[in-house]
Amino acid sequence: MAMTDRVQDYARQWNVSVEQRIETTTSFLAFGTRDGLPVVLKVSRTAGEEWKSGEVLAAFGGRGAVRVYEYAGGAALLERLDPATPLAEVVRSGRDSEAVDLLAGVIREMTGAPAGEPHAPSVEDLAVSFPRYLENKDRQVPRDLVVQAHHVYTALCSSQTQRRLLHGDLHHHNVLFDARRGWLAIDPKGVVGELEYEIGAALRNPCECTHLVASSEVAKQRIARFAGALQLNAERVLAWAFSQAVLSALWSIEDGERLSDDHPGLALAAALRPLLP
């Protein structure tokens, strides 16, 4: 079925009056109303990482995250946020510590979500990209860095406590402000692991603020602030963030990208590597 046909089909099925359409590289967004309520219909182009985002959002039950009204594989009908300002704007205005506190508040809300998990990959499942990269001929990421990150990641996986459903990609561009409900997460990937894992994406972002992502001092301050606000183990946050940073670079390569010199994953890995115990 063509993309436009899929969107129209879901709009009819879920009784959405579409007013505006926006296409992105990964999805189609249709803005409109249902029964007078502002909504967004999101339909994914392919069965990628966010194919089950509707199911994941339903599990969070609107706690710290955008509400989902209907969902199916690759499609979700969501509440429309207004003005939908991304948290990255707070960082760009020079208020990075405030952004950390706001993001920690979103995570705290999400951890209070109802019990029960959708079918989501575990953090262990994601580790497959390490050996897969080492087996190919690509050399954009130094081999010793990949080996170290894989070792750190594996040790963390085997020593986790209190595993739960996580957003999986919670950073400053995936947290938006709504005038009625405050700061809310969007576009979850969904992964099961301990809460310390969740901080990694935030430390690699905003990706355009390389001067922050590449700074060991900023990383230490952010980790300490997250750990204090959420009662996390700071050493495990650091170790997850380092190994995830390398993993994110490998994912970029798997997606067909050529890594730039300022790739946020490699920049953060370089900043965190000297801080590892």
pLDDT higher than 60, residue 106: yes
Dig out the tokens for 204 from the structure.
């690699």
Residues 213, 205: Cα–Cα separation, whole Å: 6
Dig out the tokens for 264 from the structure.
């946020």
pLDDT tens-place string over residues 160-178: 989 999 999 999 999 999 9
Domains of the chain as residue ranges with CATH: 3-80 (3.30.200.20), 85-275 (3.90.1200.10)
The pLDDT assigned to 50 comes to: 82
Q: Do the beta carbons of residue 53 and residue 190 sit within 8 Å?
A: yes
pLDDT band at 117 (very low <50, low <70, confident <90, very high): low
pLDDT higher than 80, residue 116: no
What is the Cα 156 distance to its own chain's centre? 19
pLDDT higher than 90, residue 241: yes
Average pLDDT over residues 30-44: 97
| Mean pLDDT score of the chain | 95
pLDDT higher than 60, residue 31: yes
The answer to whether the bond into 83 is cis (omega within 30° of 0) is yes
Q: Do the beta carbons of residue 112 and residue 63 sit within 8 Å?
A: yes
Residues 81, 252: Cα–Cα separation, whole Å: 29
pLDDT higher than 60, residue 115: no
Model pTM score = 0.95
pLDDT higher than 80, residue 185: yes
